[in-house]
């Protein structure tokens, strides 16, 4: 998910830079220069640092970022040195597995490195109180819960209410720019996160269950499997069934359907990516 967020932000920045460089009527023309980051807006990043634990992971991440072109190749990939990366950053996204949070945040020097910085955690089930117990009181801790369609920039992210600070409006703009680049973003109190996890976070898995069932029905009526899946995924009628759940639920359904339309994707695989312990 961390790679999906980083890729979405970079793609969004490159689109912004391209639109600034070319008039609207010629926006289809391929750019000839590398998009630059607009440093005049304090809510936009001027540098990206990505951390991994293994050299093999670094090579895979570099290949993914290079494929983005432009700003992708400028990301600084740090192997096995979270402290250095956090020390050099202003905004930190914690995108590890939930069970790794303690070892990362309790590392010697980490709490000092996070002083007065914005820490955004996407760890499911790890509460703000648990996170704040591992950092200094000056660290601004926020929870965010993106769902799997964020990988194709069709996601829904719920963000907890921001802690009071002199920079609260800037922090809000930063968060909106990050998560709006990979779909929709909405702020809600942390007390709603369990419900949002069931509806938005797990929604793509539920959607894929009946999406696959619809495709199976098409196969039973004689349609080829690939075409039956495409017809089911592209059908928007079934989304109206759950419209009463509101925006978050609809976004989860729409994102799941569009993921199923990707080459090589299958509802069962998408469901497993939501339910898998890994």
First to last CA, the chain: 12
* 198 compared with 138, residue with greater pLDDT: 138
CB contact at 8 A, 209 and 259: no
Sequence-distant (6+) residues with CB within 8 A of 66 are 72, 73
Q: Binning pLDDT at 50, 70 and 90, where does residue 262 land?
A: low
Task: Among 198, 222, 239, identify where a domain stops.
Answer: 198
Task: Among 170, 198, 226, identify where a domain stops.
Answer: 198
pLDDT for 37 equals: 55
Quick: pLDDT tens for 20-43. Answer: 544 443 333 333 344 445 557 888
Annotated binding site for NADPH: 82
CATH code of residue 30 = 3.40.50.720
Same domain, 120 and 165: yes
pLDDT for 19 equals: 54
Q: Binning pLDDT at 50, 70 and 90, where does residue 263 land?
A: low
Q: Give the chain's domain count.
A: 2
Quick: pLDDT tens for 78-132. Answer: 999 999 999 999 999 999 999 999 999 999 999 999 999 999 999 988 999 999 9
Same domain, 237 and 173: no
Same domain, 180 and 45: yes
Same domain, 184 and 252: no
Helix intervals (H) in 221-246: 225-234
Closest of 231, 249, 233 to residue 241, by C-alpha = 249
Same domain, 112 and 226: no
Annotated binding site: 82
Instruction: Output the pTM of the full model.
Output: 0.75
pLDDT for 59 equals: 94
Give the structural domain span for 71.
2-198
């Amino acid at each position: 998910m961390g790679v999906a967020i980083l890729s979405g932000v970079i793609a969004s920045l490159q689109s912004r830079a391209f639109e600034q460089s070319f008039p609207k009527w010629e926006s289809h023309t391929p750019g000839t220069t590398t998009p630059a980051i607009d440093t005049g807006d304090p809510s936009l990043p001027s540098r990206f640092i990505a951390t991994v634990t293994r050299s093999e992971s670094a090579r895979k991440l570099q290949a993914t970022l290079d494929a983005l072109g432009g700003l992708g190749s400028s990301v600084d990939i740090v192997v096995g040195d979270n402290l250095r990366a956090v020390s050099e950053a202003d905004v930190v996204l914690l995108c590890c597995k939930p069970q790794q949070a303690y070892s990362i945040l309790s590392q010697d020097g980490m709490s000092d490195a996070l002083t007065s910085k914005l820490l955004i955690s996407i760890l499911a089930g790890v509460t703000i109180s648990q996170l704040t117990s591992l950092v200094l009181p000056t660290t601004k801790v926020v929870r965010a819960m993106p769902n799997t369609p964020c990988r194709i920039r069709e996601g829904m992210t719920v963000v907890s209410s921001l802690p009071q600070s002199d920079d609260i409006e800037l922090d809000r703009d930063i968060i909106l720019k990050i998560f709006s680049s990979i779909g929709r973003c909405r702020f809600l109190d942390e007390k709603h996160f369990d419900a949002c996890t069931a509806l938005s976070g797990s929604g793509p898995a539920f959607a894929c269950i009946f999406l696959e069932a619809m495709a199976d029905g098409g196969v039973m009526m004689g349609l080829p499997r690939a075409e039956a899946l495409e017809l089911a995924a592209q059908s928007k009628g079934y989304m109206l069934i759950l419209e009463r759940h509101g925006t978050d639920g609809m976004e989860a359904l729409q994102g799941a359907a569009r993921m199923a339309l990707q080459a090589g994707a299958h509802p069962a695989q998408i469901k497993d990516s939501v339910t898998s312990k890994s």
